[in-house]
Amino acid sequence: MGPHRTCILALAVLSTLGAAEVVSVAADDEALQMWRSAAFQRSFLGSYGAKTEVEPRVNVTERAVLTEVATLMASKGGAEKARKLLERSIAPDATAVFDFTLGSLYLQADRLDASARWYQKAIVKFPSFLRAHKNLGLVYIRQSAFDKAGPSLAKAIELGDASGLSFGLLGFAYLQTQSYTAAEGAYRQAMLLQPETVDWQLGLVRALFKETKFEEAASLCGNLIEKDPARAEYWLLQSSAYLGMKQPLKAAQNYEALDAAGLATAPTLNTLGDIYVNEGVLDLAVSAYLRAMDRDDQASSESYLRDAEVLAARGAAEEAARLLERVKTRMGQQIADADRKRVLKLEARLAGSRQSAGTEQLKFLEEMVELDPMDGEALILLGQFYAGSGNTEKACFLYERAAGIDKFEAEAKLRHAQCLVRNGRYKDAVPLLKRTLELRPRDDVSRYLEQVERVARTKN
């Protein structure tokens, strides 16, 4: 249950009619009608002291004041007069009912700080005042003071309150204070008392998530989906439970069902794409990413460019190219240099996977270096292209340029050494490999150096 804003209308008074658990928004006219009801006034005035263990006593004089309060509240604009009457009547030896009722009137006026103060005063006067503890807990919930709400609601339950609302809100307070096992227990009790209240079921699901009880959470979500399949929230929660159970393809089925019903959002479809990538179903992954882009024209293209890079890294060149084309269309002509560089690098990699790689790949790589001559990665990629084309001199020149950039020195020198070794220049490769190991020790490079040194000695 989310901390939705509510106006709790005269909650203390409603409790006299056995409806303290009602949390609702009520208009001023509805409030007046309630106070004007003869049955309501009789219940209001006759309830105090009925249960002496949890209700303060009210003497004849105090009852007359409460009668006047009820009369004032039944008149338009009488609420302020009723509050002032109670404030004049409150004394250290006066009944705690005055403090409690004043707290309730402030609650009706949505003045939560004042309401809490008067409920606290009522409890000081009469520590076992059940309704004061309960209403104070409700005020704390409204104020998001969950660490205070829990003890107040728990005390009301200890004193005999067995309403579903109290247990449900206690579960909510525990959930917000990360007392997940306690939250689970409170929500289960609330569901026993109010089995059709969705908020308690959702609260229990969230508590189970926090306790990593994913299987039970998924089952509960299934019940919710069966009752209301149009609520996307239920499908998403169940999908999260499936992911927690390490069953990503079941989560994917939920996301696909949401999309088929027109309920999937761009983030949902992006998550679906990520699942397919992780599961190696790359053709479905690009389909999900493209659908995500269709759902949100305003979204940044940067994340989709990253998705295309991931697809390319997984060897899905065709799928990456499809996604990249859509990304380029969205970016249009107004593209930042940083994104332009990433696009060019990806295009170069994808071109390298095609049979017509040569000229096309070279064009992208040279454009990358022209765009940023200090891009070490671009220099290394261009060097690799020339090395593969047999232009060793050009490749070595580019590797040397890249090695002048601290971040890329180790990689550039390793590539340079490999290029020299392929051309039989073992002795020249040795110092480059040694420098590589100084910068970034690696067992495989160390073994490679030993082999190169051994061959270099035989060539002397």
The arithmetic mean of pLDDT across residues 284-302, rounded, is 85
Amino acid, single-letter form, for residue 369 = V
pLDDT band at 197 (very low <50, low <70, confident <90, very high): very high
According to the model, what pLDDT value does residue 328 have?
A: 81
Instruction: Tell me whether domains 1-161 and 394-460 share a fold.
Output: yes
% of the chain at pLDDT higher than 70: 83
According to the model, what pLDDT value does residue 27 have?
A: 44
According to the model, what pLDDT value does residue 326 have?
A: 87
Q: How many CB atoms lie within 10 A of CB 232?
A: 16
Tokens of 29: 């006219």
Residue spans of beta strands (DSSP E) within 155-215: none
Instruction: Give the span between the Cα atoms of 142 and 137, in whole angstroms.
Output: 9
Q: Is 2 left (phi over 0), alpha (psi -120 to 50) or beta?
A: beta
pLDDT band at 18 (very low <50, low <70, confident <90, very high): very low
According to the model, what pLDDT value does residue 329 have?
A: 81
The helix (run of H) or strand (run of E) holding residue 80 is: helix 79-89
Instruction: Give the span between the Cα atoms of 234 and 216, in whole angstroms.
Output: 14
The arithmetic mean of pLDDT across residues 48-76, rounded, is 79
Q: What is the DSSP string of 241-286?
A: HHHHTT-HHHHHHHHHHHHHTT---HHHHHHHHHHHHHTT-HHHHH
According to the model, what pLDDT value does residue 317 have?
A: 84
Instruction: Give the span between the Cα atoms of 114 and 94, in whole angstroms.
Output: 19
The arithmetic mean of pLDDT across residues 384-393, rounded, is 83
According to the model, what pLDDT value does residue 15 have?
A: 38
Across 33-47, 163-177, 306-320, least confident range? 33-47
Contacts 24+ apart (CB under 8 A), 195-200: 197/164, 197/168, 198/224, 199/1, 199/168, 200/1, 200/164, 200/167, 200/168, 200/171
pLDDT 10s digits, 106-162: 988 889 999 999 999 999 999 999 999 999 999 999 999 999 999 999 999 999 999
Tokens of 355: 């049979």
The arithmetic mean of pLDDT across residues 217-229, rounded, is 95
Q: Is the confidence at residue 432, as pLDDT, over 70?
A: yes
The arithmetic mean of pLDDT across residues 228-250, rounded, is 95
Contact 136, 153 (CB under 8 A): no
Q: Is the confidence at residue 236, as pLDDT, over 80?
A: yes
What is the chain's Cα-based Rg? 36
According to the model, what pLDDT value does residue 252 have?
A: 97
Q: Is the confidence at residue 362, as pLDDT, over 60?
A: yes
According to the model, what pLDDT value does residue 19 have?
A: 32
Contact 237, 217 (CB under 8 A): yes
Instruction: Give the span between the Cα atoms of 457 and 147, in whole angstroms.
Output: 75
Across 27-41, 310-324, 439-453, least confident range? 27-41
Note the Cα 200 to chain centre separation in Å.
20
According to the model, what pLDDT value does residue 25 have?
A: 34
pLDDT band at 380 (very low <50, low <70, confident <90, very high): confident
| CATH class as words, domain 394-460 | mainly alpha
Contact 157, 166 (CB under 8 A): yes
Contact 347, 363 (CB under 8 A): no
Decide: helix, strand or coil at residue 111. coil
CATH number, domain 1-161, options 1.25.40.10, 1.20.140.10, 3.40.50.620, 3.40.50.300: 1.25.40.10
Q: Is the confidence at residue 50, as pLDDT, over 80?
A: no
Residue from 236, 229, 231, 162 nearest 206 by CA:
236
Q: Is the confidence at residue 48, as pLDDT, over 60?
A: no
Instruction: Give the span between the Cα atoms of 178 and 127, in whole angstroms.
Output: 28
Q: Where are the domains of the chain?
A: 1-161, 394-460
Q: Is the confidence at residue 340, as pLDDT, over 80?
A: no
Contact 404, 435 (CB under 8 A): no
Q: What integer best gives the mean pLDDT of the chain? A: 83
Contact 170, 188 (CB under 8 A): no
Instruction: Give the span between the Cα atoms of 13 and 223, in whole angstroms.
Output: 36
Longest dimension (CA), the chain: 118
Q: Is the confidence at residue 353, as pLDDT, over 60?
A: no
Helices 164-176 & 146-158 angle (0-180, nearest 10) = 150
Instruction: Give the span between the Cα atoms of 267 and 440, in whole angstroms.
Output: 39
Q: Is the confidence at residue 45, as pLDDT, over 60?
A: no
Q: How many CB atoms lie within 10 A of CB 423?
A: 15
Q: Is the confidence at residue 194, as pLDDT, over 80?
A: yes
